[in-house]
Homo-oligomer: A and B are copies of this chain.
Amino acid sequence: MAATNLPLDADRLWSDVMALAEITDPAHPYTRRSFSALFLDGRAWLARRFADAGLAVRIDTAGNLIGRLDGADPSLGVIAVGSHSDTVPSGGRFDGVAGVATGLEVVRALRDAGVRLDHAIEVIDFLAEEPSEYGLSCVGSRGMVGALAPGMLELTEPGGETLREALRRVGGDPDRLAAARRDDVRAFLELHIEQGVVLESQSLDVGVVTSIVGIRRIEIVFEGAADHAGTTPMALRHDALVAAANTVVGVRRVAEQLAAEGSEHFVATVGILTVEPGGSNVVPGRCRLVIDVRSTNPALTQRFVETVECDSAACAAAARVARASLVTLSDGPPVACDPMLRDVLRRCARELGLGETDLASGAGHDAAFMTRITPAAMVFVPCRNGKSHAPEEWADREALAAGAAVILQAVKTLDRSLPR
């Protein structure tokens, strides 16, 4: 495709993404963890850019940074575009930021073209989309849809600060969370890098997301006995790591079976495993692991969880340890993107001469929560080798501009076509 003659400024969009990437922990590029000082630096920079673009800037009670441009007809509600500016540790430059910068560029491109929408437009930087130090992801989008339960505010980071305190610290108001709940959003659009290889391998410009996987996170703790590694005979051990390792092996086997069954997206990962006390000469007394299960089909997730519950109990018994706990940390169901918005995005892509395809999202996104209060849809842009959540994460300048142009066209189309 030719990314020339796009109705926006590809360089301006690109320079925003690169500028925000500079606001990182220099020892671990690219790291801008939610609630951190760097995160607040990034948001201060974004707020200035929002204001420069003529947006009225505020932080809602759920801690979302919002830039708003009123529409010509105050009765019509809001078209919202956004994503998030926080990152995973040692993450990339695009995951999240690309979608926020797209929203900003859409507003500037409309202004440059002298277009004033009938609807208000809001650019949203959702708070803490990535799993935060408080053990929760999508904090801001949960808040915006009324799904940030009071109990979640009592979650604590390792230093002991509650999410309630942290939310207040970044400008939110945990005592007035209901005020963040919206009923005036008529459409939500989010651009994001694909984080997979489908678009790249098929040389396509954009993916229009059909549905977003459900994500369930399960924590298992095994407790054995931290005995001396030299003097405790093999037959008398209570080795928590042996139970955990067998569980990891089982998770992989079952996940491969379910993934191979059909066309539904299914993956499961053990990304966290800790061993205590963690000395070379001590039999592991305690192991904690976290399983991340994702599927577009809740029935597959349910079958997986039932098998792992059974398997992990058997692994514990075989290693003579206790499965001290098996807890569901979070459980978000899969959600479908809005068919009408998907149709608009596909048509806009084709009008711009771009190659597009339908795609399921294996990653969770703020858009998944936004479907609870408004029609929502997503545009994916290709990223190199499918790499994400890593410093080498990369999307080309033209690819990003093409995706943003689809969002821009869709915003203009929706402004005319949304039910009034």
Contact = CB atoms under 8 A, between A and B. Distances in A.
Contacts of A217: 280
Given A226-B390, A227-B386, 6 more contacts: A230-B267, A231-B361, A232-B362, A245-B252, A269-B282, A274-B275
A16 interface: no
Interface in A10-61: none
Contact of A363 (B231, B270, B274, B386): B231
25 contacts: A194-B231, A195-B230, A196-B228, A197-B236, A217-B280, A228-B363, A228-B386, A230-B363, A232-B267, A232-B386, A233-B259, A234-B259, A234-B266, A235-B256, A239-B269, A241-B273, A242-B249, A245-B245, A245-B248, A249-B249, A271-B275, A271-B282, A273-B275, A280-B290, A280-B292
A418 interface: no
A292 B229 contact: yes
Nearest to A273: B275
Interface in A79-113: 88-90
Given A234-B255, A234-B259, A252-B242, A229 B280 contact: no
A271 B292 contact: no
Given A228-B389, A245-B248, A259 B235 contact: yes
Interface string A124-138: 000000110000000
Contact of A230 (B241, B278, B364): B364
A95 B281 CA distance: 13
A256 B294 CA distance: 36
Nearest to A283: B269
7 closest pairs, A vs B, by CB?
Answer: A245-B248, A231-B362, A229-B269, A230-B362, A230-B363, A196-B231, A245-B245
Most buried by B among A215, A259, A260, A281: A281
Contacts of A234: 252, 255-256, 259-260, 266-268
B213 A230 contact: yes
A298 to B, nearest CB: 16
A272 interface: yes
A403 interface: no
A394 to B, nearest CB: 14
A277 interface: yes
Contact of A131 (B259, B273, B281): B281
A375 interface: no
Copies in the complex: 2
Q: For chain A, give the interface size range.
A: 35 or more
Most buried by B among A88, A215, A260: A88
A142 to B, nearest CB: 16
Contacts of A255: 234
Contacts of A284: 270-271
A387 interface: yes
A249 B251 CA distance: 14
Contacts of A390: 226-227, 285
A211 interface: no
Contacts of A277: 88-90
A354 B389 CA distance: 65
A281 B227 contact: no
Contacts of A226: 389-390
A280 B275 contact: no
Contacts of A228: 195-196, 362-363, 386, 388-389
A246 interface: yes
A353 interface: no
Most buried by B among A130, A267, A389: A389
Nearest to A365: B230
